[in-house]
Structure 1
Amino acid sequence: MDIDAFATCPRGLEAALAAELEQLGAPETRPAAGGVAFVTDQAGLYRANLHSRLAGRILRRVAAVKARDGDSLYRSVMAVDWPAWFDVDRTFRIRLTARKSPLRSLNFATLKAKDAVCDRFREAFGRRPDIDPGGAEVSVHLFLEGRKGTAYLDTTGAPLFQRGWRVANVTAPLRENLAAGMLTLAGWEPGMPLMDPFCGGGTILIEAARRARGLPPGLERAFAFQNLADHDLAIWARVSSESAPGTVAEGPLLGGDRDSKALAAARANAEAAGVADAIEWRQSDARQLKGPVGPGRIVTNPPYGERLPVKGGLAGLLGGVADHWRETLPGWEAAVLLPEAETAPGGLEARSVTPLANGDLPCRLHRLAIPAG
């Protein structure tokens, strides 16, 4: 049976996510702002949750709804056979977002939708499931646009960027799916030398190491689809036993940072992620860090004023880094994530510039060529 689904992602990664979903077997994808609509089956739904490195969550379309007013929303949500989707003993919550909606209060709309789901269960069983806003086993997502909308069930649970290996945090950590997207946009492939001279907690390099070893990003976690009524244990056993798609190949991975505490966090995270032996860590100023034998890729998220204090200004820091790269890493390419108001290091050819959302901060990924001597 075909399943209509929607995978969310950071803004700017939609095309890359569509390509990833196609590689995972989705026969039809349609990129949209903030994600990708796709058609799949039960195995494909499980596979996307387990193997997608770029998605934030995977939503399964349940029904179209009307939202002219609170009563029409209630009636259309009530019309959905919710007991066919999850058990009355499961806790649930409603997550509602709206754009150009005639409904004046989203809180009111959320309550109407919650009442509709509960009343459908009361009609069937004489009792209703409990509400748990913080840790519900089932999440119903309603997206309203104008006078209509769509109801989805979340098949993911905790966001997919929460891989389960981050045991040590640093200031302003990069989300794992954004780090994976930066690697993809940088053109990095397993086996290529890779360096991150501002490695912080090690997210970019850990994502690279796990990809190189074919470790599924969702290997260490549970998923919300396991709480739904149609969860198929046999299909999940088959999908979870599959190896990750793609070629496994390892090359030198090097992370540098001036902060010894950040490096300690990176080492702890790499150990928890099962790739401690795949990455070399050095305490070093980025303007002095020597890279592995290349050419290869530099993929990095340097500190910038909105997130971390930078002495001497970001432009001065990156100017010195660019000079160092020209001297020591000829023929390499760099992908540098910067706030949208910042310019790339001078003297390096810009291959491409991709707008990306780093949380709520609008950024651009600058892909730069380092002259080959």
Structure 2
Amino acid sequence: MNNNFKMVAKTLFGFEEILAKEIRNLGGGNVVPGVRSVSFEGDVGFMYKANLCARTAIKIIKPIHSFTVRNENELYRNIYAMDWAEYLAVDMTLAIDTTVNSDNFTHSLYVSQKVKDAIVDKFRDTDGKRPDVDVKNPDLRINIHIQKEHCNVSIDSSGRSLHQRGYRTATNIAPINEVLAAGLLLMSGWHGQSDFMDPMCGSGTLLTEAAMIACNIPANINRKGFAFEKWHDFDQELFDKIVEVCLNKTQEFRHKIIGYDKAPSAVRKAGDNIENANLDDYITVDRKNFFQTEKQTEGPLHMVFNPPYGERLNLDMEEFYASIGDTLKQGYPGTNAWLITSNMEALKYVGLRTSKKIKVFNSHLESRFVKYEMYEGSRKRQDKNEIE
């Protein structure tokens, strides 16, 4: 008997194909990338697995109903007509998240209010009591999406955004989002094949995500909980089995993961977060100024980092980015170096030719994720070796 149903995983701009590949590799069916989303099919166990393991998913929602809607009365009637007892009880709490892109509805908070009214009125009419609203930690989070005259009703299986992995308790200025970090690493081709470095590691997010990818550790294994654990039909035994199976697929990593930062506070915070993720056996963090270092390891080095953009720190960005280029050129042969920045002007001062340049967003900032290939010896020598 096929117990599969449709789900939608939300993600960041530019990560749709990466997430689609993740979902396929995890075993999802009918995987279709969309705009900041990927739709797919699976059973309840796969919903648990996707929440636990998908590194580039922000939320995983389960669509439960859709209808045409042109005004608030139609919205109320259609929501009221649904069998909410299948998902909710009077002693449970709820919250409504709404996104609207419609001429008929312009205020998402107003739509959320009408949906809430319809649901609690239904319970009051059938049970004589009504569930309460809890916007911070509800038992059921309902997702409403109105596109023109089409309304999708979904329930949120994740709860808090899946970038909140649970290991990061200390952060610096402008820490990189964990989903963004994982997506950039996967986009860079990182899968644990060499030594890895983040030379400006801040609170250690890129280092931690790199180690989890290299060891095939589930992305959200350290998370405190998921929304589906409060659902009527939550199967604790099945979830425990999914966790066990996923942990049995972890693998050993035999290279080095190295982080530098010149700020003592960053080094301390990175160490705390790495310890929280139980990855201190794989990652070392040292207090060093990248511009005064050179490559310490033999063989290929994979480097990914998130330098300052000039948004919050008072730096000479031209000089800073020129120093990035000089340090890579003089001290890091045999390195594939990737960096993300929203400072397009400063990027010009790196002074190295990019082999890849990809448009991404860091929060609201349009950014570029760029790759510099630092060859052993001259490029001419490298090309000769490749021909031979």
Q: With structure 1 as the length reference, what TM-score do the two structures score?
A: 0.94
Per the alignment, residue 132 of structure 2 pairs with 130
Alpha carbons 1:191, 1:250 under 8 Å: kept: no
Per the alignment, residue 303 of structure 1 pairs with 308
* Structure-to-structure mapping, 1:279-294, within 5 angstroms: 279-291=283-295, 292-294=297-299
Deviates more, 1:127-136 or 1:227-236: 227-236
1:155 to 141, 145, 157: 157
Per the alignment, residue 27 of structure 2 pairs with 25
Cα distance in 2 for residues equivalent to 1:274 and 1:282 = 18
Whether 1:99 and 2:122 are equivalent positions in the alignment is: no
Cα distance in 1 for residues equivalent to 2:33 and 2:200 = 31
Deviates more, 1:143-152 or 1:344-353: 344-353
Q: Is the alpha carbon distance of 1:332 and 1:344 closer, same or farther for their aligned partners in structure 2, counting shifts above 3 Å?
A: farther
Whether 1:351 and 2:351 are equivalent positions in the alignment is: no
Per the alignment, residue 260 of structure 1 pairs with 264
Cα distance in 1 for residues equivalent to 2:112 and 2:314 = 43
Cα distance in 2 for residues equivalent to 1:293 and 1:91 = 56
Cα distance in 1 for residues equivalent to 2:252 and 2:5 = 30
Cα distance in 2 for residues equivalent to 1:38 and 1:344 = 41
* Structure-to-structure mapping, 1:77-116, within 5 angstroms: 77-116=79-118
Whether 1:317 and 2:320 are equivalent positions in the alignment is: yes
> Larger Rg: 1 or 2?
2
Of Structure 1 and Structure 2, the greater helix share is in 2
* Gap runs ≥5 in structure 2: 378-388
Q: How big is the shift at 1:235? A: 2.0
Alpha carbons 1:303, 1:310 under 8 Å: kept: no
2:123 to 121, 124, 129: 121
Residue 162 of structure 2 aligns to a residue whose secondary structure is coil
CA RMSD across the alignment: 1.7
Q: How big is the shift at 1:128? A: 1.2
Q: How big is the shift at 1:246? A: 6.7
Q: How big is the shift at 1:272? A: 0.9
Residue 57 of structure 2 aligns to a residue whose secondary structure is coil
Cα distance in 2 for residues equivalent to 1:277 and 1:92 = 42
2:274 to 270, 275, 287: 270
Cα distance in 1 for residues equivalent to 2:52 and 2:349 = 37
Q: Is the alpha carbon distance of 1:303 and 1:150 closer, same or farther for their aligned partners in structure 2, counting shifts above 3 Å?
A: same
Per the alignment, residue 200 of structure 1 pairs with 202
Higher-RCO chain (CA-CA 8 Å, sequence separation at least 6)? 1
Count of matched residue pairs = 371
Q: Identity percentage over the alignment?
A: 29
Amino acid at match of 1:298: M
Cα distance in 2 for residues equivalent to 1:250 and 1:101 = 56
Q: How big is the shift at 1:278? A: 1.4
Alpha carbons 2:100, 2:107 under 8 Å: kept: no
Amino acid at match of 1:304: Y
Amino acid at match of 1:231: F
1:213-250 residue CA offsets vs partner (Å, 9 max, x unmatched): 33222222211001112222332122121125575423
Cα distance in 2 for residues equivalent to 1:86 and 1:232 = 16
Per the alignment, residue 374 of structure 2 pairs with 370
Q: How big is the shift at 1:321? A: 1.6
Cα distance in 2 for residues equivalent to 1:347 and 1:210 = 33
Amino acid at match of 2:280: A
Cα distance in 2 for residues equivalent to 1:61 and 1:105 = 22
Per the alignment, residue 383 of structure 2 pairs with none
Cα distance in 2 for residues equivalent to 1:344 and 1:43 = 48
Alpha carbons 1:6, 1:37 under 8 Å: kept: yes
* Structure-to-structure mapping, 1:202-221, within 5 angstroms: 202-220=204-222, 221=224
Q: How big is the shift at 1:107? A: 2.5
Q: With structure 2 as the length reference, what TM-score do the two structures score?
A: 0.91
Alpha carbons 1:101, 1:144 under 8 Å: kept: no
Alpha carbons 2:57, 2:162 under 8 Å: kept: yes
Deviates more, 1:155-164 or 1:289-298: 289-298
Residue 242 of structure 1 aligns to a residue whose secondary structure is helix
Per the alignment, residue 337 of structure 2 pairs with 334
Residue 348 of structure 1 aligns to a residue whose secondary structure is coil
1:186-222 residue CA offsets vs partner (Å, 9 max, x unmatched): 1111142111111000000011122323322222221
